[in-house]
């Protein structure tokens, strides 16, 4: 499993003595506790591709195309022909089967003989379609894993938001109780008490909003893993991987199944063009029959038919031109897909590096500074030299910083998931490919 986050260095973790008066801490103890029953990212990815209807459907389509390829190479079924020929309809012989020597009861067989080249190309066309569907299956496998991982990431983010908000609510309630005691002793004002109570109410609403967002995120995750989405979510993200160089990433992206599917489409259109060109060559058919005449000698019949592709301007010529146009479009689609994937790879690679640097700045500077600000403002308020508003503002600022850091963590995880989808972390053995798992 690829890693998604790093812990802050130990020297930047906040002192436990200050934890009681901080709105949030850089590393919450509950985050570090492992829960084997919690829903982790790796499990979500496995559940998403296990029995996924999209993948099952694509497998069935590819299997159908392979079966069709076998049938397409065979000769058509023979046709049974029967009927009555040359029955008189007037004079005294009308509707008689015995009086006219031309009247006969016929039975025969007709067999068409399409050219072997055409039958081969029709079978190859279905095989090309099976190859395209196989590449589409691989692409869907990656896409399902990515979308399920992103859905889990949303659940994780709102779960952490809810934890931070609830911790902030507890701090605000503790602060309100302290102000209430101070109000009774005359060391705090009614306005300060109302300010503290308003902060508690604000944090309660923030917690309710986080719970609502969490419910939405879990329902989104259930699209991929069903009822498993409503299990408790793991508190920690996986550890970050070693990011390969950009050149290595771009080289791996060129093996993406999206490009493989586009290349399979080009091969399919090439076979279609070959089949269209083969239409200039005629097919044959043979019919044998037997005629029974009740009062006369019996008859035998042998007929040979051949197509006459002589008016090709608005039929075969148009079909060949259309096939070549489709081939040109498929080739352009390969180039467009390559540009898109390589662009995404560069963007995610660059953002990944920038986010690492920004998280380091939070852990080494902004978060410790917000801790010191809370400590100083709280000490000033308790000594009577500061205002309660300074304490509330310091705690609110610390929460905003912690939420901002959570956003950075989430963005880094999102870029890591996208890089995994692009194949950036696959090695030469094909790790991450469904055929290797």
Residues 315-353 as b/e (b if ≥16 CB within 10 A, e otherwise) read: ebeebbeebbebbeebbebbeebbeebbebbeebbebbe
382 contact partners, CB below 8 Å, separation of at least 6: none
- Decide: residue 155, CB within 10 A, 0-12 exposed, 13-18 middle, 19+ buried: buried
Please compute the mean of the pLDDT values over residues 26-33 and round it to a whole number: 32
Please compute the mean of the pLDDT values over residues 283-310 and round it to a whole number: 91
SS (H, E, C) 8-77: CCHHHCCCHHHHHHCCCCCCCHHHHCCCCCCECHHHHHHHHHCCCHHHHHHHHHHHHHHHHHHHHCCCCC
Residue in the structure block whose two tokens are 């005294």: 92
Q: Which of 288, 305, 292 is nearest to 86 (CA)?
A: 292
pLDDT single digits (tens) 107-145: 999 999 999 999 999 999 999 999 999 999 999 999 999
Q: Which of 194, 199, 169 is nearest to 180 (CA)?
A: 194
Q: Which of 282, 286, 284, 283 is nearest to 110 (CA)?
A: 286
CB 28 within 8 A of CB 16: no
Q: How confident is the model at residue 29 (pLDDT cuts 50, 70, 90)?
A: very low
The region of weakest confidence among 55-59, 63-67, 127-131, 398-402 is 398-402
pLDDT single digits (tens) 332-358: 999 999 999 999 999 999 999 999 999
pLDDT single digits (tens) 372-402: 888 888 888 778 777 778 888 888 888 888 8
CB 167 within 8 A of CB 206: no
**Angle at the Cα of 88 (from 84 to 91), degrees rounded to 5?**
160
Give the per-residue pLDDT at 89.
Answer: 87
Tokens, residue 424: 């950036």
What percentage of residues in the chain have a pLDDT greater than 70?
89
pLDDT single digits (tens) 235-280: 889 888 899 999 999 999 999 999 999 999 999 999 999 999 999 9
Q: Which of 321, 300, 319 is nearest to 309 (CA)?
A: 319
CB 218 within 8 A of CB 229: yes
d(CA 209, CA 219): 16
pLDDT single digits (tens) 37-47: 899 999 999 99
pLDDT single digits (tens) 135-166: 999 999 999 999 999 999 999 999 999 999 99
Taking the C-alpha atoms of 142, 148, 151 and 153 in order, what is their torsion angle to the nearest 10 degrees? -80
d(CA 7, CA 360): 10
- Decide: residue 363, CB within 10 A, 0-12 exposed, 13-18 middle, 19+ buried: buried
Mean pLDDT of the chain: 85
pLDDT exceeds cutoff 60 at 8: no
d(CA 80, CA 289): 10
pLDDT exceeds cutoff 70 at 409: yes
Tokens, residue 399: 């929460």
pTM of the predicted model, to two decimals?
0.77
Please compute the mean of the pLDDT values over residues 269-295 and round it to a whole number: 93
Give the per-residue pLDDT at 389.
Answer: 80
Q: Give the number of other Cβ atoms within 10 Å of residue 384's Cβ.
A: 7
pLDDT single digits (tens) 214-232: 999 999 999 999 999 999 9
CB 273 within 8 A of CB 317: no
430: which DSSP letter? -
Tokens, residue 283: 């097919």
DSSP string, 263-292: HHHHHHHHHHHHHHHHTTSPPEEEEEEEEE
pLDDT exceeds cutoff 60 at 315: yes
Give the per-residue pLDDT at 36.
Answer: 53
């Amino acid at each position: 499993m690829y890693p998604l986050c790093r812990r802050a260095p130990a020297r930047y973790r906040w002192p436990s003595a200050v934890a009681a008066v901080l709105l949030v801490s850089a590393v919450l103890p509950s985050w570090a506790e492992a829960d084997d029953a919690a829903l982790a990212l790796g499990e979500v990815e496995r559940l998403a591709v296990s029995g996924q209807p999209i993948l099952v459907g694509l497998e069935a389509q590819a299997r159908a195309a392979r079966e069709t390829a076998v049938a397409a190479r065979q000769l058509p079924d023979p046709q049974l022909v029967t009927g009555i020929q040359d029955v008189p309809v007037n004079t005294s012989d009308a509707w008689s089967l015995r009086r006219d020597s031309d009247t006969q009861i016929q039975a025969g067989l007709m067999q068409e003989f399409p050219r072997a080249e055409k039958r081969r190309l029709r079978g190859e066309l279905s095989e090309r379609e099976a190859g395209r569907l196989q590449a589409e299956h691989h692409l869907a496998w990656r896409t399902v894993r990515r979308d399920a991982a992103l859905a889990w990431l949303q659940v994780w983010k709102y779960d952490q938001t809810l934890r931070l908000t609830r911790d902030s609510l507890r701090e605000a309630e503790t602060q309100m109780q302290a102000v209430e005691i101070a109000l009774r002793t005359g060391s705090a004002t009614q306005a300060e008490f109302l300010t503290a109570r308003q902060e508690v109410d604000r944090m309660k609403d923030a917690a309710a909003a986080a719970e609502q967002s969490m419910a939405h995120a879990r329902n989104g995750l259930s699209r991929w893993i069903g009822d498993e989405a409503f299990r408790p979510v793991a508190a920690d993200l996986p550890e970050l991987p070693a990011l390969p160089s950009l050149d290595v990433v771009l080289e791996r992206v060129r093996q993406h199944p999206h490009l493989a599917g586009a290349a399979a489409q080009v091969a399919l259109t090439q076979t279609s063009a070959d089949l269209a060109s083969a239409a200039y060559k005629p097919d044959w058919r043979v019919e044998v029959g037997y005629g029974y005449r009740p009062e006369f000698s019996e008859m035998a019949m042998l007929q040979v038919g051949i197509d006459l592709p002589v008016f090709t301007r608005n039929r075969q010529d148009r079909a060949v031109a259309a096939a070549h146009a489709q081939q040109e479009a498929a080739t352009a689609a390969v180039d467009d897909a390559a540009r898109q994937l390589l662009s995404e790879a560069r963007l995610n690679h660059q953002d990944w590096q920038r986010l690492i640097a920004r998280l380091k700045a939070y852990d080494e500077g902004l978060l410790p500074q917000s801790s010191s600000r809370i400590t100083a403002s709280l000490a000033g308020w308790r000594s009577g030299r500061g205002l309660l508003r300074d304490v509330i503002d310091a705690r609110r600022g610390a929460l905003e910083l912690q939420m901002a850091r959570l956003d950075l963590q989430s963005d880094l995880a999102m870029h890591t998931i996208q890089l995994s989808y692009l194949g950036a972390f696959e090695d030469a053995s094909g790790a991450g490919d469904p055929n290797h798992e």
